[in-house]
Structure formats: structure tokens, C-alpha cells
Amino acid sequence: MMLMLVETFTVGMLSTNCYVASCPKTKDAIIIDPGLELPVEAQRIVDYISEAELNIKFIVNTHGHSDHVKGNAYFQQKYKVPLCIHPLDAHFIAELTPNNYLQNKTLEDGSIISCGQEMLRVLHTPGHTPGSICLVGEKLIFSGDTLFAGSIGRTDFPEGSNSDMQLSLQEIVALPDYLLVYPGHGETTMVGEEKRINPFIKNKGKNMFLF
């Protein structure tokens, strides 16, 4: 069983993590959250992709905030691949208009994104935004701005919801401890570690009743 290869590029003013995740066997790959602002950031990512000889299959946005999506158009033009986002966040993305990139793909809870021999399952985790998603693989989870190492995403934006966030965190708590977490900002962590130390999810058993 080969593990998905993940390369991290920290881009933009808000130090957003853009990930290139690939299947080591087939070299199929996806770009997650290309929130770049500078041409030099795009170039670093393009160089990595060509040096590693990856075949980009999809661009995926964990949500629609600009620090995660600014490079969508650049990479779509470069690689001619579908852009994937949850419909509740699609309005954030100017490129997702009719007549433009008809191959774009909306995601829903349970959607599968195939990447060579690897598969990522979409977990809809509203709260930070209504269409926030996490991508769950065999050994890892891309958590967007829902879960960070020791913290969680803000819910005080106009479309944020703290009650939705609480339910989404319970979904993540129900996942295996060994999953490596790749968040939208900051360092990687593990699901089990966050269950132990993250003040926002500590003591949240999955059966806890929320009012």
C-alpha cells in the first residue's frame, strides 16, 4: 500500500497552505487550495509539478475564501482540469460561471476524488463557511480552515456558524486518531493529538448532545 505524497507550499499574505497531493505509483495529482498571490509562488508550484512529472487531475478548494482560491484561474489555464468546490461556497468563485470551464465539478458530502490509486472522500464540514469541506484519505485529512493544530477556523464571518462548526468538529472527532491532518494554515498535526490537546475539541465525545 503506497501512501499519498504531499508537498506543502505556504503562499500569500495569510500564509495559506497549498498542497500538491499525488499518487506515487501513477503520479496522478491534485492541487488543493492554490491561494497564491505572487507569480514566484505559482512558479515554485509549477516547477515542483514538472520536476516530479505529476499529472494534475483536479484543483480542489476546501472553501471559497480568497486566500485559498486566488490561483484557481492560473492553474486551470495551465493544466485544463476541473475545479472542485462545494456548491454552498461556489458563489465565492468568480470563475464558476456558466459557459466557463464546463468541466467544473461540485462536491457534496461523500463525493470521491480519485487520485491514481488513492481516493479522497469529501466530508462536508460547514461552520467556517457553509461550503467548507475536508478531504479524508486512508492515512490523512486535509482540513481546510475547519481544524488547525491547537485551534479551529473562525466562525464570525457573515456566513459562519458556530453551531455548524461544533457539529463538524464532532464528525472529525469520529475519525481515526492516526490520520495526519494537513490544515489550511499552520503545522500538520494528528487527529488523535487534537482530540487530546485542542481546547476547541477536547472532551467532545461523538455522543455529546449539543443544544
64 touches Zn ion (CB under 5 A): no
> x/- string (CB under 5 A) for Zn ion, residues 155-194?
-----------------------------x----------
- Work out how close the CB of 145 gets to Zn ion at its nearest, in angstroms, rounded to a whole number: 4
Rounded distance between C-alpha atoms, residue 107 and residue 117, angstroms: 20
Binding positions for Zn ion, 104-163, rule CB under 5 A: 145
Q: How many residues bind Zn ion (CB under 5 A)?
A: 4
Which residue in the block uniquely carries the three cell numbers 507550499?
A: 9
What is the 3-state composition of the chain as percent helix, strand, coil, each rounded to the nearest 5? Answer: 25, 30, 45
Q: Judged by CB under 5 A, does residue 89 bind Zn ion?
A: no
Q: Give which of 1, 39, 7 is closest to 20, Cα–Cα.
A: 7
* Residues composing the chain: 211
Residue 33, interface with Zn ion (CB under 5 A)? no
Contact between 67 and Zn ion (CB under 5 A)? yes
Cell representation of residue 157: 464571518
Is 114 or 163 the residue whose CB approaches Zn ion more closely?
163
Provide the minimum distance between the beta carbon of 194 and Zn ion in the complex, in angstroms, as a whole number.
Answer: 18
Beta strands in 99-183 (DSSP E): 105-106, 112-115, 118-124, 133-136, 140-144, 147-148, 151-152, 180-183
Chain positions contacting Zn ion, by CB under 5 A: 65, 67, 145, 184
